[in-house]
Amino acid sequence: MPLSKEELENHIKESIPDSTVNIEDLRGDGDHYSATVTSKSFVGKSKIEQHKMVYDSLKGKMGNELHALMLKTRTE
């Protein structure tokens, strides 16, 4: 079952509460998304660490309910 944009945003915001999340459904299928996540908690972390924080927030849904996520992270 695909993951909705709202569910994806909720998972990220639960794990990174101060984040601003912008999500685009790339194919309209609920399975391929682009997300830009902006958070002060990314300050001082490498891009790899930032992306890991976001992927960890998905709690194993990546590769299951969610097939593809093009991810951009930014600090405020």
- 60-72 pLDDT tens trace: 888 777 888 999 9
Model-level pTM greater than 0.85? yes
HSE-CB for 50 with a 13 A CA cutoff: 20
pLDDT digits (tens, 9 = 90+) for 26-71: 988 878 899 999 999 999 999 999 999 999 999 888 877 788 899 9
Query: What is the dotted CATH code of the domain comprising 5-74?
Result: 3.30.300.90
The answer to whether the CB of 47 falls within 8 A of the CB of 73 is yes
How, if at all, do strands 68-74 and 32-38 pair? parallel
